[in-house]
Every structure is written in C-alpha cells, then in structure tokens.
Amino acid sequence: MWSGDGDIPLYLRVAHSNEIDFAMFGTLMADFHKQWQIDALFVADAALYTEDNLQMIVSFRWVSPVTGTLTAAK
C-alpha cells in the first residue's frame, strides 16, 4: 500500500506465488488499519469485491470496480 501520491510505500507483505489476491485483500486492509489507525481511503482492483472481503472491511472507506453486472453485485 502506498501514500496518496504513490511515492511512499506504507505497507508491504510478501506472499507466496500461489496465493490468490481476492482471498487476501480484506485481511491486508485490516492488518494495515491496525498498524496505522488512520482514516484511509482504500483503492483496489475488482478482486476486492467478494462477500468475505466486504464483510471484513465494512467499517473502512474504499472504492473498487464492481465485477460482473450491477444487478449481481447488489
């Protein structure tokens, strides 16, 4: 995770090559929030948009494109 201007890395986690992105986004955001305790706006790709992740980040501010159709996402 980087600062808003993209110049300063704030959080890094090295993962196994076979780890699935969407399975870890919620956990990474929660870990970051515990360490920094700031009101951050998280910006992520569509892999964030899973039911498990959304349950983990319900109290965070975030933006992400919706996968599939809008009807399915609702």
Gyration radius from the chain CA atoms: 13
- Cα dihedral sign, 2-70-51-37: positive
* Mean local confidence (pLDDT), 30-50: 86
Q: Where are the domains of the chain?
A: 21-73
Q: What mean pLDDT is reported for the chain?
A: 83
- Would you state the pLDDT for residue 4? 80
Q: 26 or 73: whose pLDDT is higher?
A: 26
Return the pLDDT at 73.
65
* Contact of 38 with 7, CB cutoff 8 Å: no
What are the backbone dihedrals phi and psi of residue 66, each rounded to the nearest 5 degrees, phi first? -85, 135
**Ranges assigned E (strand) in the chain:** 41-43, 61-63
Q: Quick: pLDDT tens for 48-67.
A: 888 898 898 999 999 888 77
